[in-house]
A and B are shown apart, each in its own frame.
Chain A
């Protein structure tokens, strides 16, 4: 394997493997979030099970490492690609239809995903796992705490969801963020198989379809939770 990770295909291979890992995490996260739709108390039980336990902390660490590698290699590849393209640009370039917009803008979409992630971290991770680890557990704003969790803000995930997602503009921002992730994943999913060589002329269209369906299920699940939280907390449903 000497030199493999320095080659263009090797770097793309790292992007695929770390991307696969992030997709698996998103799948798990969406399943976990769906519990909130059926039972906020059940969702809090999941939060309590994860909390700041060693397995959750280890998982977060590994996830962060995968994320850092994905971003680092995306940046390296983008810089190399711009250099390879040369300084002169076409006066006019009309790509034929069939080239996905997202495939040409993966880095920009990735940057939007990162900004959204920072906001998401500040709203949830910092007030839950991080607060518990740092020993600076705060309190949930009045009127949002789940009964029985008044003094356990770090595991009262349902309360934080209720607090933030009762505001229409935060809901709107989350939906825009989900749309960016959908576009990023829709190209990234089938592209992952193509890069590791697990594709051929028959499977490329199949993988593109699976990619759209899978990505829609994942991001649709996230969007459902956000909308349910909004209507439940804003309209008092």
Chain B
């Protein structure tokens, strides 16, 4: 049986006491990390090591660890969610790294996401945008038969693709303008494409864009970086729909 050799890595981790404190990088060594471990498991190993040394563990967000909750939010070696496409940080595995590598781990850096501690950021701005209009408030009655309201498959598919957005914030964190347009457009699209959500599409687009602007997110300049770094591959075509809905809503006024 071949001898198992793990990875010996150097980690440059951003440490910051709180929102107002001065942050800095600290360097740690971790040894014999299995290539089959997830990135967050490697972070757990680092934290155990720090606790055993009597040091403060690194604070980072995580929850489901299966790519659906949107909690993990690390910027690893210059990319949101690390060096792989269409995955969240919790789906990143150590086989993507090589022995002896230095890994730089940073929090989301965007005006809309202030740092709480170390690698944890406050993403409640996205919740506030959702509270402004990201819901259906019209009475939709009881549960109808599955085929009582015909919905074209293309629309259903596109709504589903938009609904895949988990609100992790990688879009705004990657955007050079700190724009939340991909997130807002995904939420507007998933509802506007379906009959129950269509009724309030204009009101919703206006309310969510107004809240996004109020919270200080930047303006979209169509670089497309958000789409490339989105772990759910949400398309910037939804941004075009949001622009269309917003324009139509304002013309109707």
Residues of chain A touching chain B, judged by Cβ–Cβ distance below 8 Å, are 1-4, 7-13, 77, 80-81, 83-86, 88-96, 98-100, 103-104, 106, 187, 190-191, 193-201, 204
Contact = CB atoms under 8 A, between A and B. Distances in A.
12 contacts: A8-B220, A84-B218, A85-B110, A85-B177, A85-B218, A90-B109, A95-B228, A103-B223, A194-B240, A197-B240, A204-B235, A204-B236
Contacts of A197: 240-247
Contact of B106 (A77, A83, A90, A204): A90
Given A92-B77, A98-B228, A199-B240, A9 B209 contact: yes
B178 interface: yes
B224 interface: yes
A94 B216 CA distance: 25
Contacts of B190: none
B198 interface: no
A12 B247 CA distance: 11
Contact of B79 (A12, A96, A106, A201): A96
B250 interface: yes
A13 B242 CA distance: 13
Nearest to A1: B250
Nearest to B227: A98
Contact of A7 (B209, B221, B244): B209
A154 B112 CA distance: 55
Given A8-B219, A106-B221, A96 B229 contact: yes
B48 interface: no
Given A11-B219, A95-B225, A200-B240, A90 B176 contact: no
A94 B25 CA distance: 18
